Amino acid sequence: MAEETGGLIPPETLAMVGELLGEPVSAEITAKEAQRYAQAVGDLDPIYFDEAAAKAAGYRGLVAPPTFVSHVVVQGQPLDRLREDGLFRTGARAMPLRVRRSMFGGEEWDFLEPACVGDTITAESRLKAIEEKQGGSGAFVLTTRETTYTNRRGEVVARARQIGIAR
């Protein structure tokens, strides 16, 4: 983690490492939504559509595609919350940085338990790490936001780490 040297990361942002970036969000997985998602991503595994096939494969019921957990917790937004860049303003805490722009730098997933139809999934996002680095065209900031997805039994079904790049 970068120490404050008058660089791109203000001390109040460094202090956010490990903290929640917003309120936890919960939603129930329905068969209709999980199956539409599976069709949209082209994953037609029978465990998503046929309960007998899911149970024969050892699951407790219909399974949702692994990355569906990030979709199910997305909350709709009115158009007046749309930003100039096409993304919606959210209730997430701001991470002040001394930069002009930021972009998505990738995402890594760990899938730990299957998410099944009927599960209520709760997502919690935290600032996992922030670091100032030097590149060929100058200083930039790498942020890592980790979202943990938990079912109603308290089992972590997945973790996603999103990398942000700001300069």
Which CATH number does the domain housing residue 134 bear?
3.10.129.10
* Average pLDDT across the chain, whole number: 91
The answer to whether residue 151 is domain-embedded is yes
The answer to whether residue 119 is domain-embedded is yes
Confidence (pLDDT) at 2:
42
The residue among 45, 41, 64, 74 whose CA lies nearest residue 113 is 64
For residue 54, what are its two tokens? Answer: 């899911």
What is the C-alpha to C-alpha distance for residues 139 and 82, in angstroms, rounded to an integer? 29
What is the C-alpha to C-alpha distance for residues 88 and 146, in angstroms, rounded to an integer? 19
The answer to whether residue 152 is domain-embedded is yes
More confident residue, 9 or 102: 9
Question: What is the domain count for the chain?
Answer: 1
The answer to whether residue 34 is domain-embedded is no
What is the C-alpha to C-alpha distance for residues 101 and 87, in angstroms, rounded to an integer? 14
Confidence (pLDDT) at 100:
87
Can you tell me whether residue 3 is helix, strand or coil? coil
Structural domain span for residue 121:
11-28+64-75+96-166
What is the C-alpha to C-alpha distance for residues 21 and 92, in angstroms, rounded to an integer? 5
Q: What one-character DSSP code corresponds to residue 75?
A: P
More confident residue, 137 or 160: 160
The answer to whether residue 44 is domain-embedded is no
Q: How confident is the model at residue 1 (pLDDT cuts 50, 70, 90)?
A: very low
Confidence (pLDDT) at 91:
64
Q: Please state the rounded mean pLDDT for residues 16-28.
A: 94
Residue 4 has pLDDT above 60, yes or no: no
pLDDT in tens, 45-93: 999 999 999 999 999 999 999 999 999 998 777 788 777 766 666 667 7
Print burial letters for 101-132: b (CB count within 10 Å at least 16), e (below 16). Answer: ebeeeeeeeeeeebbbbebebbbbbbbbebeb
Query: Do the Cβ atoms of 63 and 54 come closer than 8 Å?
Result: yes
The answer to whether residue 55 is domain-embedded is no
pTM (2 decimals)?
0.86
The answer to whether residue 15 is domain-embedded is yes
Can you tell me whether residue 54 is helix, strand or coil? helix
Query: Do the Cβ atoms of 167 and 98 come closer than 8 Å?
Result: no
The answer to whether residue 41 is domain-embedded is no
Q: Please state the rounded mean pLDDT for residues 119-140.
A: 95
The residue among 109, 19, 27, 10 whose CA lies nearest residue 71 is 27
Of 10-14, 28-32, 61-65, 110-114, give the lowest mean pLDDT range.
10-14
